[in-house]
Amino acid sequence: MSKPYTITTAISYPNGRPHIGHAYEVIATDAIARFQRMMGRDVFFQTGTDEHGLKMAQTARGRNMEPRALADEMSGYFKAMNDGLNISYDRFIRTSEPDHHRASQAIWQAMEANGDLYLGRYEGWYSVRDEAFYDEKELTEGEGGQKLSPQGTPVEWTVEESWFFRLSAYQQKLLDLYASQPDFIQPDSRRNEIMRFVEGGLSDLSVSRTSFDWGVKVPGSDGHVMYVWVDALTNYITGCGYPDDAERMARYWSEGGDITHIIGKDIVRFHTVYWPAFLMSARLPLPKQVFGHGFLLNRGEKMSKSLGNVADPMELAERFGVDQLRYFLLSEVTFGNDGSYSAEAIVARSNSDLANSFGNLAQRTLSFIAKNLEGRLPWGGSSETREDIELLSTVRREIVSLESEFASLAPSDGIQSWMRAVFACNAYIDAQAPWSLRKTDPARMEAVLAVLYVAIGELAVAILPVIPTSANALLDQLGIPPNIRNYQGLRSQWYQALVEQSFTLTPPKPLFPRLELPVEEA
Ligand code: ME8
Q: Bridge-partner residues for 141, per DSSP?
A: 147
User: 51: closest CA among 79, 87, 85?
Assistant: 79
Q: Bridge-partner residues for 93, per DSSP?
A: 48
> Which residue type does 107 have?
I
Would you say 146 and 154 are in contact if contact means Cβ atoms under 8 Å apart?
A: yes
Q: How far is the centre of ligand 1, averaged over its atoms, from the C-alpha of 337 (Å)?
A: 15
Q: How far is the centre of ligand 1, averaged over its atoms, from the C-alpha of 12 (Å)?
A: 6
Q: How far is the centre of ligand 1, averaged over its atoms, from the C-alpha of 23 (Å)?
A: 10
As to burial, measured by CB atoms within 10 angstroms (0-12 exposed, 13-18 middle, 19+ buried), residue 52 is buried
> Which residue type does 514 have?
R
> Which residue type does 27 have?
I
Instruction: Tell me how far apart the alpha carbons of residues 519 and 465 are, in angstroms, rounded to a whole number.
Output: 33
Atom of ligand 1 nearest to the CA of 236: 19
CB-based contacts of 214: which residues, under 8 Å, 6+ apart? 52, 53, 54, 56, 57, 60, 67, 225
Q: How far is the centre of ligand 1, averaged over its atoms, from the C-alpha of 21 (Å)?
A: 7
DSSP SS3 for 311? coil
DSSP SS3 for 120? strand
Atom 23 (ligand 1): residue with closest C-alpha? 264
Would you say 62 and 70 are in contact if contact means Cβ atoms under 8 Å apart?
A: no
Atom 10 (ligand 1): residue with closest C-alpha? 21
pLDDT of 372 reads: 94
Atom of ligand 1 nearest to the CA of 263: 27
Instruction: Tell me how far apart the alpha carbons of residues 369 and 505 are, in angstroms, rounded to a whole number.
Output: 8
Would you say 505 and 479 are in contact if contact means Cβ atoms under 8 Å apart?
A: yes
Domains of the chain, earliest start first: 5-293 (3.40.50.620), 343-500 (1.10.730.10)
pLDDT of 519 reads: 67
Q: Bridge-partner residues for 117, per DSSP?
A: 165
Instruction: Tell me how far apart the alpha carbons of residues 159 and 145 are, in angstroms, rounded to a whole number.
Output: 20
Residues whose beta carbon lies within 6 Å of some atom of ligand 1: 10-13, 21-22, 24-25, 50, 232-233, 235, 263-264, 266-267, 295-296, 303
Q: How far is the centre of ligand 1, averaged over its atoms, from the C-alpha of 63 (Å)?
A: 22
Would you say 245 and 256 are in contact if contact means Cβ atoms under 8 Å apart?
A: no
pLDDT of 518 reads: 73
Atom of ligand 1 nearest to the CA of 12: 22
Backbone angles phi, psi at 41, to 5 degrees: -85, 155
Which residue numbers in the chain have pLDDT < 50? none
51, 238, 266: residue to mutate for ligand 1 pocket, most atoms within 8 A of CB: 266
100, 279, 295: residue to mutate for ligand 1 pocket, most atoms within 8 A of CB: 295
DSSP state of 352: I
Atom 7 (ligand 1): residue with closest C-alpha? 21
pLDDT in tens, 415-456: 999 999 999 999 999 999 999 999 999 999 999 999 999 999
Q: How far is the centre of ligand 1, averaged over its atoms, from the C-alpha of 19 (Å)?
A: 10
The pTM of this model reads: 0.96
Q: How far is the centre of ligand 1, averaged over its atoms, from the C-alpha of 483 (Å)?
A: 36
Q: How far is the centre of ligand 1, averaged over its atoms, from the C-alpha of 101 (Å)?
A: 22
Q: How far apart are the first and last CA of the chain?
A: 52
Q: Ramachandran region of residue 255, left (φ > 0), alpha (ψ -120 to 50) or beta?
A: beta
pLDDT of 494 reads: 95
pLDDT of 179 reads: 97
Q: How far is the centre of ligand 1, averaged over its atoms, from the C-alpha of 22 (Å)?
A: 6
Atom of ligand 1 nearest to the CA of 9: 27
The string of DSSP codes covering 31-79 is HHHHHHHHTT-EEEEEEEE---SHHHHHHHHHTTS-HHHHHHHHHHHHH
The long-range contacts involving 481-486, CB below 8 angstroms and separated by at least 24 positions, are 485/38, 485/461, 486/37, 486/38, 486/39, 486/40, 486/461
Q: Bridge-partner residues for 127, per DSSP?
A: 132
